Structures are given as C-alpha cells and as structure tokens.
C-alpha cells in the first residue's frame, strides 16, 4: 500500500508515494533522487546514511520515511550554499579528509551538526561526535583535523 506524503529536504517540498516500510534513506535516494546520502551497512552501524532531521543527526537507513513528514531533512547536498561550499566541506578538501569518499557525506553531516551545536569542540568531542561514522580507509586523523580547521575558520 502506497502512502502519499511530502518530505521537506534541503528546503524543498517533495511529493512522494511511499510504502509503509520504506526507509528515509531509500526515499531520499530512490524517490527524490539525491544520491549524496550513501547506503553502507544498511543496519544502523556505519553512519554513511547520516542526515539531519530538524537539525539532529539520524541514521536514515533505520528511520521510517513516513515518520519524517513534517520535519526538516538536511542531506549532504543541503550543506553548500549554491555553488559555495560550506566551511566544513572546504576543510575536508583542504585537509585531505577524503580518501575513497564513501563515508564523507555522513562524516560531513555529523560534523556539520556538531559545529552548529558546539562551534569550538575539543578533539575528543570531535571524535565522540563522529564515533557513529565509520571510515573504511581509516582516515580518521585527517577527518578530525578537518573538523578542527573548519571550527577555526568559522570562529
């Protein structure tokens, strides 16, 4: 049974028709067509699917899409301002915080949420905030440095 719904993603309202058990991850990638959000473990372990719901990071692979109606969803595509990269995106590029890139959208979303909540985090706070995001290349040092650099850049 399909349910008609509207999902608000990155400031746009998308009318969609969703199965009751569709995940938010599938709705974003398959129905809306924003493929920046990645399918990793698809089991709430790796954080590749991280999005923000009303400003708070959530694993979209284990969130029912229909529960997100009425909320503001932000994906990695929503972090930039038009063609202008956000501070955290620029810092990941400048500091080499990207290796294969698969975890990067989730890392960016978690880091973005952290900096909005805590503009001047310690390295320990950064590592804790990113602890739900796994990097299979194990490039954590540069990722943490990128978040520190972004915090400095926006201070």
Partner 1 sequence: MGDVAFHTATTVDEALSLVGDGSDAKVVAGGSDLIVQARGGRDLPANVVAIHRIEALRGIDASGDLTLGALASHADITASAAIRSTWTALADASAIVGSHATRNVGTIGGNVMNASPAMETGAPLLVLDARVTLRSAAGGDRTVPIDELWTGPGRTSAQPGELLIDVVVPSLPAHSGSAYVRLEYRRAMEIAIVGASACVTLDGDVVTSAAVALTAVGPTLLRSPSAAAAVIGTTGDAAALAAVAAGASADASPISDLRANEDYRRAMIGVIAKRAVDVAIRRARGEEFPIPATPVFMEGSAR
What residues line the site for partner 1 (CB under 8 A)?
1, 3, 19-23, 42-45, 47, 50, 53, 56-59, 61-64, 66-67, 69-70, 110, 113, 128-129, 131-133
CB of residue 76 to partner 1, shortest distance in Å:
14
CB of residue 41 to partner 1, shortest distance in Å:
9
Nearer to partner 1 by Cβ, of 66 and 84: the residue is 66
What's the burial of 36, exposed, middle or buried (CB within 10 Å: 0-12/13-18/19+)? middle
CB of residue 112 to partner 1, shortest distance in Å:
12
Nearer to partner 1 by Cβ, of 69 and 90: the residue is 69
Place of tokens 């909320």: 71
Nearer to partner 1 by Cβ, of 85 and 127: the residue is 127
Distance CA 59, CA 14 (A): 20
CB of residue 18 to partner 1, shortest distance in Å:
8
How crowded is residue 2: how many other Cβ atoms within 10 Å of its Cβ? Answer: 10
Nearer to partner 1 by Cβ, of 30 and 90: the residue is 30
CB of residue 35 to partner 1, shortest distance in Å:
19
Nearer to partner 1 by Cβ, of 44 and 141: the residue is 44
The tokens describing 67, both together, are 């529960």
* 11, 49 Cβ separation under 8 angstroms: no
């Amino acid at each position: 049974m399909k349910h008609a719904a509207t999902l608000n993603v990155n400031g746009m309202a998308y009318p969609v028709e969703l199965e009751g058990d569709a995940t938010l991850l599938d709705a974003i990638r398959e129905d809306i067509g924003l493929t920046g959000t990645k399918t990793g473990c698809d089991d709430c372990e790796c954080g590749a699917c991280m999005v923000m719901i009303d400003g708070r990071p959530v694993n979209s692979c284990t969130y029912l899409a229909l529960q997100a109606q009425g909320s503001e969803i932000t994906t990695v595509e929503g972090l930039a301002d038009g063609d202008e990269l956000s501070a955290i995106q620029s810092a990941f590029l400048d500091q080499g915080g990207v290796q294969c890139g698969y975890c990067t959208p989730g890392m960016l979303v978690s880091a973005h949420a952290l900096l909005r909540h805590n503009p001047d985090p310690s390295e320990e706070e950064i590592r804790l905030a990113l602890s739900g995001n796994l990097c299979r290349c194990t490039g954590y040092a540069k990722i943490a440095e990128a978040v520190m650099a972004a915090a400095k850049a926006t201070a």
